[in-house]
Copies of this chain bind each other. A is one copy, B any other.
Amino acid sequence: MKPYVWHTRVYYEDTDAGGVVYYANYLKYMERARTEWLRSLGVEQDTLAKDLNVLFAVRSVAINYKKPARFNDALTVTVVAHALKPASISFKQDISQQGDEAKLFTTSEVNVVCLNTNDFSPNPIPKNLYQTIQSGEINNDY
């Protein structure tokens, strides 16, 4: 499956005294990319919550740190929805050097569940979104 690709950059706020990106901050890049992937599919999470009373919550993350990213590095963050269930999505997400994507900083698997905003119980993924994800549509020209 073709990955959705998004770019960001390492700023001072992301690094720590070791001179590299602090390990928790890669999860921020990953979420920004998932947000932009949803947006590329026409889905805004704030309207999703307001109009359909659903939100997405992360259930698990497994992340491997391969090489450290540093201040000023331009990053490529990928999103692949590789397993789709009625109320959850499993993603593979890599972070690499923009322009040299063989240089991997992290690889990861993220499981996200769809919840009802009222009581945080599992909720089916809205039908249109489910079908869009299922079709494997990628809008990288967004």
Which residues of B have CB within 8 Å of A17? Answer: 12, 15-17, 19-20, 70-71
A12's partner among B22, B62, B64 (CB-CB below 8 A) is B22
A28's partner among B11, B31, B46 (CB-CB below 8 A) is B11
Q: Is the CB of B16 within 8 A of A24?
A: no
Q: Is the CB of A59 within 8 A of B64?
A: yes
A interface residues, how many (CB within 8 angstroms): 36
Q: Is the CB of B65 within 8 A of A63?
A: no
Q: Does A13 contact B (CB under 8 A)?
A: yes
Bound-state CA distance A46–B73 (Å) is 10
Which residues of B have CB within 8 Å of A58? Answer: 23, 65
Which residues of B have CB within 8 Å of A62? Answer: 60-63
Q: Is the CB of B59 within 8 A of A71?
A: no
A residues contacting B by CB (< 8 A) are: 11-13, 15-20, 22-25, 27-28, 31-32, 35, 44-46, 55, 57-65, 68, 70-72, 120
